[in-house]
Amino acid sequence: MGNFLVADNLTCGYTEEVPHRHLPKREVIKNISLSLGEGEFIGMIGPNGAGKTTFLRVLTRILKPWKGKIFFQGKNLEKFSPKQLAKEIAFLPQNIEIPFPFSVETFILLGRYPYLDYFGRFNFQDEQQVKKMMELTDTVHLKDKKINTLSGGERQRVFLAQTLVQEPKLLLLDEPVAHLDIGHQIEILDLIKRLNQEKNLTVIAVFHDLNLASEYCDRLLLLNEGKIYKNGQPEEVLTYKNLEEVYKTVVIVSKNPLSSKPHVLLVPQWGKKCN
């Protein structure tokens, strides 16, 4: 707990597309209050539609909160200018479609936008920062390739590099390893964890894979129907009671023999006899 980021009684959601006609608003997150300290690695879990992505969108000001306030480093989030905020908080959305074939290096350079002058020119410092992050994410050899020719794992590393050159203090990741094979999942999350440990980068990541969340996160938020159902260490959150209640399916929780973190096993209901 700390006051690096404080969300106070946050409510938000989506209006239907046509304003001026008062169509029902769809409330997605409801009265969420939360505080976190610098350097924490927070995992957000919960069923589809629980409000995980919406919460990240509010933190990046893509959505405006309907009620409640967010304080980042003690300052109201609304008080930041767009570029100022982009230097503090970086966001990696889940699906990014790039309609035009940027080269990898140019694409990563665009992450420096909040630091550019009025003419949008890159200077030596920008290029140094990009070089550093390309080395870190192991994307140097992809430099001149087009973004749309990359494999899933390469793509995600490039996207990550773009968020890292923003030099953020808070990194928001929406399912950073969905659709990747287990090798790439570990590679990317190891990298993020390393930045978290070495550079004191605060991370909030949405996970569908409960076991990855359990291994990497210091703290988990279990969201259900727009509310925080449980907030605590993986051992407290990942219990069969909590998970069965929220996900409406049967699970067994055991332990990873090496890390002794909770490990969730799924139990198919198919072919079981009704008692």
Residues that bind other proteins (CB under 8 A): 17-20, 57, 60-62, 81-87, 89-91, 93, 96-103, 106, 110-111, 113-114, 116, 118-120, 146, 148-149, 163, 166, 172
Instruction: Tell me if 226 sits within 8 A of 205, measured CB to CB.
Output: no
Nearer to other proteins, 84 or 123 (CB): 84
Q: What distance lies between CA 209 and its chain's CA centroid?
A: 13
Min dist. Cβ of residue 99 to other proteins (A): 5
Instruction: Burial-class residue 193 by CB neighbours within 10 Å (0-12, 13-18, 19+).
Output: middle
Min dist. Cβ of residue 100 to other proteins (A): 4
Instruction: Tell me if 124 sits within 8 A of 175, measured CB to CB.
Output: no
Min dist. Cβ of residue 62 to other proteins (A): 5
Q: What is the C-alpha to C-alpha distance for residues 217 and 97, in angstroms, rounded to an integer?
A: 28
Nearer to other proteins, 19 or 24 (CB): 19
Nearer to other proteins, 179 or 241 (CB): 179
Q: What angle do CA 121, 122, 124 make, to 5 degrees?
A: 140
Residues 6+ apart with CB under 8 A from 241: none
Q: What is the C-alpha to C-alpha distance for residues 203 and 4, in angstroms, rounded to an integer?
A: 12
Nearer to other proteins, 65 or 111 (CB): 111
Nearer to other proteins, 113 or 229 (CB): 113
Min dist. Cβ of residue 159 to other proteins (A): 9
By three-state DSSP, how is residue 46 classified? coil
Nearer to other proteins, 94 or 197 (CB): 94
Min dist. Cβ of residue 274 to other proteins (A): 45
Min dist. Cβ of residue 264 to other proteins (A): 30
Instruction: Burial-class residue 18 by CB neighbours within 10 Å (0-12, 13-18, 19+).
Output: exposed
